[in-house]
Amino acid sequence: MAQKDNRILLLNAPRLPLEDAKLEELTGDLHDFAHAHGLVMRLATDKLSSEVCQTTPLTLLPSPFPKNVFEQAVKLQDLYALLYHTIAYDFDFLIDIHKNVVKTDEFIRNMIEILKKVKTQGLKQPITLAIQRSDYMCHKDQASAEYGLKQIEINNIASSMGAHAQRLTEWHIRILKALEVPDDVIKRAIPENKPIPMIAEALFKAWSHFNIPSAWVLVVVENVNQNQIDQRHVEYELEKLGVPMTCIIRRTLTQCYEQLSLNETSDLMIDGRPVAIVYFRAGYSPDHYPTNKEWEARERMELSTAIKTPWIGLQVANTKKTQQVLSEDGVLERFIGKPRDARDIRISFAGMWALENQDDVTLKVVQGAQKHPDAFVLKPQTEGGAALHTGDEMVQMLRELPEEERGAYILMEKLRPMIIENYLVLAKKPVTFAKAVSELGVYGYAFGAKDAPELKTAGHLLRTKPETTAMGGVAAGHAVVDTPFLYEFI
């Protein structure tokens, strides 16, 4: 349930702004803590090397976030994991809802073509794994002035920043103690945050299920990756669970094309050993497939006995189009059998409309977006940080997009997130005390066969950016990693 923002009570939270001397002291301490604990990123000027790294963009303090909204997001995660696990197996549904998208979106078209081949040949590996992060905003309803949870997107591939979020939580507990916040307040306000053990557990389950001790964990990576350290923490945790480091291998999609093969029983082979699981930390963006070779490598993986996270059905389900269609009457309920669960999920939906639809409701909404562009955003189909279109640019696109290109975009209600204040810390830049907005992500997994997956939720990520910033990438410097300071209304 939402609550009115004029009833906020944040007793015992640090009072801001801090004195200059205290701010300087704590900021220096944060940089030391970050480098001592692997809370770092490669330099933007040298993304190929970890020899010299910099502090990940962070908040000095945890940011206020309503406890009831946070708990709602955590409660929903298992439902969302089950929902997308189920949708991924419905080949006909996914192919049909993207029939207009594929006319102009080459990336989605190539995904659909692989999905069709998997459908024709049958799943060589019926066990699948979804490592997921569902992202939300604490949205302020304009009519009621109440805050509630609204989903921005689902990330079924390369869900990142978990290691940074986990370590930043440790720092935020430390700094609150330094600012003499009582231990009982810290315990209630800072929720446990351990996504990396959960992600490693999911990968370990998949590797163990394959039941060949020498089999590979294949991590598919980008050619250039500034966020290498965040990824590595997952691998190191996986080693602690019992996967030998000699069984973990990192390859780009181009290298996969050159080195992977299928044997007569459809095992995915590299260096004479089978691949147990393919863990995609790349493959979500069109520029990860510069030639047909990378697509051929992806197809080879999908037609193999290796467990994939995500497999092609799950990634096709990860489009804005799927998200929009689920919001239509009766569609969500097709996949979620319990009315109460469907209701809980539907409450978190933001308004979304398909541009190719020509019904009266959609046409009216599009006209409204042209008259009131500050109330809408236009989004492309794929995830992974693709640009938003807002304001005059959005209006022009709504007016001029050719009919055949309209299926590549989704019109979405512009969310009104809660505004907070915090210190934003970026390497080699002055610390800024800014009005900012936050986006909450909750991690979870679904592992197993079609009808009986194992579900688990653990860990969260808060990303915070200045309220005037439209984009939200941490590596690009638009946003910073954060953690929530939960408060309750009275």
Name all domains of the chain by residue range, CATH numbers in brackets. Answer: 10-350+415-487 (no CATH), 351-414 (3.30.1490.50)
How far is C-alpha 399 from the geometric centre of its chain's CA atoms? Answer: 31
- Residue 488: per-residue pLDDT: 87
Answer yes or no: is 320 a known binding residue. yes
Q: Is 463 marked as a binding-site residue?
A: yes
For the segment 396-419, the average pLDDT, to the nearest whole number, is: 92
Buried b (16+ CB within 10 A) or exposed e, 72-89: bbbebbbbbbbbbbbbbb
- Of the listed ranges 59-73, 184-198, 299-313, 402-416, the one predicted with least confidence: 402-416
Q: Is the model's pLDDT at 5 over the cut of 50?
A: no
Mean pLDDT on 429-447: 97
The pLDDT score that the predictor gives to residue 47 is: 96
Q: State how far the alpha carbon of 14 is from the alpha carbons of 358, 462, 464, in Å.
A: 52, 19, 18
Residue (of 319, 354, 228, 336) closest to 282 by Cα position: 228
**Mean pLDDT, residues 273-288:** 97
**What's the pLDDT at 305?**
98
Residue range 224-276, pLDDT digits in tens:
999 999 999 999 999 999 999 999 999 999 999 999 999 999 999 999 999 99
Rounded Cα distance between 197 and 217, Å, is 16
In angstroms, the CA 190 to CA 187 distance is 6
The string of DSSP letters for 324-351 reads HHHTSTTHHHHH--SHHHHHHHHHTPPP
Non-local CB neighbours of 269 within 8 Å, separated by 6+ positions: 260, 261, 262, 263, 275
State the average pLDDT over residues 286-299: 97
Q: Within the chain, how many helices (H) and strands (E) appear?
A: 16, 21
- The whole-number average pLDDT for the span 386-414 is 90
The pTM assigned to this predicted structure is 0.94
Q: Per-residue pLDDT for 384 more than 70?
A: no
Closest CA to 435 of 449, 450, 423, 443: 423
The pLDDT value recorded for residue 478 is 81
Coil, strand, or helix at residue 41?
Answer: strand
Average pLDDT in the chain: 94
Is there a contact between 41 and 229 (Cβ–Cβ < 8 Å)? yes
Q: Report the distance separating Cα 159 and Cα 279, nearest Å.
A: 11
Nearest Cα to Cα of residue 149 among 367, 474, 466, 415:
415
155 is in an annotated binding site: yes
Q: Among all residues, which ones are annotated catalytic? A: 133, 153, 155, 160, 320, 379, 383-384, 463
139 strand-pairing partners: 148, 417
Question: In terms of DSSP bridges, do strands 484-487 and 63-66 run parallel, antiparallel, or are they unpaired?
Answer: parallel
DSSP string, 12-31: TSPPSSPPHHHHHHHHHHHH
What does the pLDDT look like over 7-56, one tens digit per residue?
Answer: 444 566 788 999 999 999 999 999 999 999 999 999 999 999 999 999 99
Q: Per mean pLDDT, which range of 47-56, 62-71, 375-384 is the poorest?
A: 375-384
Look at residue 4 in the predicted model and tell me its pLDDT. 43
Residue 453: predicted pLDDT:
97
Mean pLDDT of 59-76: 97
Residue 188, marked binder: no
For residue 313, which of 41, 90, 32, 11 has the smallest C-alpha distance?
90
Check: CB of residue 474 under 8 Å from CB of residue 162. no
Asked whether 488 and 9 are in contact (CB, 8 A), the reply is yes
Confidence tier at 474 by pLDDT (50, 70, 90)? confident
Confidence tier at 3 by pLDDT (50, 70, 90) = very low
The annotation status of 153 as a binding-site residue, yes or no, is yes
Identify any residues that bridge with 423 across adjacent strands, giving them in sequence order: 433
Closest CA to 301 of 238, 259, 246: 259
Identify the CA nearest to 429 among candidates 155, 138, 44: 44
Q: How many CB atoms lie within 10 A of CB 471?
A: 12
CA distances 143 to 8, 111, 440, 486, Å, are 19, 41, 23, 25
Between β-strands 432-448 and 454-466, what pairing exists: parallel, antiparallel or unpaired? antiparallel
